[in-house]
Amino acid sequence: MSSSIIAIPTLGRIGDQITLDQLPEYWREKTFLVCPPGEHGKHYHQTICCPESGIHNVREWIMQNIEAKAIIQLDDDMKFRVRKGKSLVRATPEDVGHAMDWLVEAVTWRGFVQAGIGDHYMSNQQPEEKMCTTVIAAHGYNVEAYRKMGLKFNRIAYHEDVDVSLQVLRLGFPNIVTHKWTRVQPDQQGEGGCSVHRDASNWNQATHQLKALHKEYVRHRWRDLSPEDAEKWGGTVKGSPMIMAKKAYRDGCAKTGVQPIKEFSNG
């Protein structure tokens, strides 16, 4: 069993691996592109052929079929930044390697089941580490804990990483995100990736499903799309869930009888 690996799900853009290209060599050796049968072997890098379709099913297949102590799942279109003082600057491969090391440390010897890298937007106003939040796009897991806790990525087609975050928190376990290193991604509905299957209709359906699964911890926010975005999404309105992560964690602690971390014990 490997101690830790990176899995990068990719669909329709096997030859354009933005995330992979930024990893240092020692992490590339432990990184696998997870792709459908038709793209298997079409990249110089090592690939794993996944029989499932849909990002939710692919993520779950990774968690149940790859043997490692820690699995990091990264979107294939990310660039990274690192905090220098109060500024964010472009991360070097060495910086990105440190971010991957941080994820592994968080889910192994620090005891978190789930850890992530925050979005760059306004991240310099966040603490370097933030607990009890949503983890998306760049996330690491303690594989044994994930399986034993019965966590599942494949309950809804989209917002699947938000769903897992809430599953963790509602069991009374904190997660953690770093803002020392951050991720930058293009707008949704770029060529390839989830956009192959995703449109406004099934995205909004998943938003409703997320709300149904976590009624007390999700609110809907609906946004009218511009003509340009409406064309990309095939619809005029897009749902965006607002997550009450800290409340989910506090209620999870109360339900399981676990003492919450002090800073989340009230309010």
Where are the chain's structural domains? 2-198
Cα(241)–Cα(30) distance, integer angstroms = 34
Both tokens of 48, joined, read: 């794993």
**Mean of pLDDT values over 136-155:** 97
Q: What is the pLDDT of residues 49-85, one digit of tens each?
A: 999 999 999 999 999 999 999 999 999 999 999 998 8
CB 236 within 8 A of CB 222: no
What's the confidence (pLDDT) of residue 1?
Answer: 53
CB 216 within 8 A of CB 252: no
| CATH level 3 topology of 2-198 | Spore Coat Polysaccharide Biosynthesis Protein SpsA; Chain A (3.90.550)
Segment among 115-124, 143-152, 245-254 with least mean pLDDT: 115-124
CA 57 remoteness from chain centre? 14
| Residues whose CB is less than 8 angstroms from the CB of residue 12 and which lie 6 or more positions away in sequence, other chains included | 39, 191, 192, 193, 196
How does the average pLDDT of the chain come out, rounded? 90
Can you give the pTM of this predicted structure?
A: 0.92
Beta bridge partners of 48: 34
252 or 263, greater pLDDT: 252
Q: How confident is the model at residue 23 (pLDDT cuts 50, 70, 90)?
A: very high
pLDDT reading at 122 higher than 60: yes
CB 129 within 8 A of CB 176: yes
Q: For residue 149, which phi and psi values (nearest 5 degrees)?
A: -80, -10
